[in-house]
Amino acid sequence: MTQQEFLNAIAGTDIEKRFAAWRSAGEQSADVVPRLVELTDAKDPGVAKAATEALTTMTHAVGKDLNDPKRAPLAEALNKKHTALTLRLLSNIGGDAQIDGIAVSLRDPELREEAIYALERIPGTKAEDAIIAAFAKAAPEFQPRILYALGHRKVKKAAALAQSALRNPALKPAAEWAIGRIGAPVVPEDPHAALRYAEANPAQAMAIYKKLLGAPEEHLQCAALVGLGRIGSAEAAQAVFPKLKSADRKVRLTAAQVWARFV
């Protein structure tokens, strides 16, 4: 099927030809992408679906084979006009060459979620650098999403950024989560961030949980007890035992539940 025959079938009214065209889309070159992107917004829902499925089929056809000769041209073609669909497809086959273009869409409120999703999934340090650079310029309501992306990727060089974000109440939950995933040069002073850090750094978890047992806040003591229960060692049991006689009822009950795991 020639390119023109293919595009005519996708845009046409014959349902059978339309279906056959999108199923064979993996055989087409990247030259058909601009027209397919236009057709994803067609008034006829059947045409829009066919164009969407054709682009998806083309992306799946190159798969994860970095040496597929169709991969780079297809990624570049998808990068020329961003939509929610093209960004989602770029999350599968995009590379360093597409990073700068994707980063521009982080400034578009309609596309930024798909753009950060793509950068979150594209491997390599260039994508990580683009996510970090986007933080300062991002709208305040979108900055937590960037922190979550950095945490998801466990970007070590973003540890300082995440720690500084702890000072902003609106960013604190996302920053705590990111620090827990990333780890940090030192154990965070913030106790909630320290709990996340302990989950991601088992070698330092015991010391963190034992310290938090002395915190005045009931919920921090309980969280530390649960963490010690997960460790399950003799040392952890020794730390839990005194809390069986805590004056705080909730801490005492939590300690009893955790203690049951040791006996």
- Over the chain, what HEC string results? CCHHHHHHHHHCCCHHHHHHHHHCHHHCCHHHHHHHHHHCCCCCHHHHHHHHHHHHHHHHHHCCCCCCCCHHHHHHHHCCCCCHHHHHHHHHHCCHHHHHHHHHHHHCCCCHHHHHHHHHHCCCHHHHHHHHHHHHHCCHHHHHHHHHHHHHHCCHHHHHHHHHHCCCCCCHHHHHHHHHHHCCCCCCCCHHHHHHHHHHCHHHHHHHHHHHCCCCCHHHHHHHHHHHHHHCCHHHHHHHHHHHHCCCHHHHHHHHHHHCCCC
Residue 253 confidence (pLDDT) above 80: yes
**60 in a domain, yes or no?**
no
**19 in a domain, yes or no?**
no
CATH no. for residue 225? 1.25.10.10
The tens digit of pLDDT for each residue in 173-216 reads 899 888 888 876 666 677 887 887 888 778 889 999 999 999 99
**105 in a domain, yes or no?**
no
**217 in a domain, yes or no?**
yes
The tens digit of pLDDT for each residue in 103-112 reads 999 999 999 9
Residue 233 confidence (pLDDT) above 90: yes
**71 in a domain, yes or no?**
no
Our count of domains for the chain comes to 1
The tens digit of pLDDT for each residue in 61-84 reads 998 777 889 999 999 999 999 999
Residue 113 confidence (pLDDT) above 80: yes
What is the rounded average pLDDT of the residues 233-252? 94
Full residue range of the structural domain in which residue 236 is found: 201-263
**247 in a domain, yes or no?**
yes
Residue 197: its pLDDT value, please? Answer: 80
Q: Is the pTM of this model over 0.85?
A: no
**241 in a domain, yes or no?**
yes
**12 in a domain, yes or no?**
no
Residue 263: its pLDDT value, please? Answer: 78
